[in-house]
Amino acid sequence: MVSPREFEKIYREYRDMVYRVCLRFGRGDPDWAYDTSQEVFVHLWEKRDALDSVGAMKSFIYRSAVNYCINKLNRSTLFGL
């Protein structure tokens, strides 16, 4: 399990990358991107047990952000949010 200190390091290292991914998916809306990037990291925190076995952390976090954005957009389209 990733410790809170290790997770903080991961957050600091990858927060800008995750924000940029979210900004692209959010069509340039900075508020949507900020909120969504925070949601990505909350989701990663909840799944922190899996982070120990990740070999390529940058790729994993990038793909997690992309998948989260796609799912969020699909939910909003499906439910008209």
Structure token digits, residue 39: 């949601």
Read off the pLDDT of residues 8-56 as tens digits, 9 standing for 90 and up.
999 999 999 999 999 999 999 999 999 999 999 999 999 998 888 888 9
Residue written as tokens 């957050």? 11
**pTM for the whole thing?**
0.90
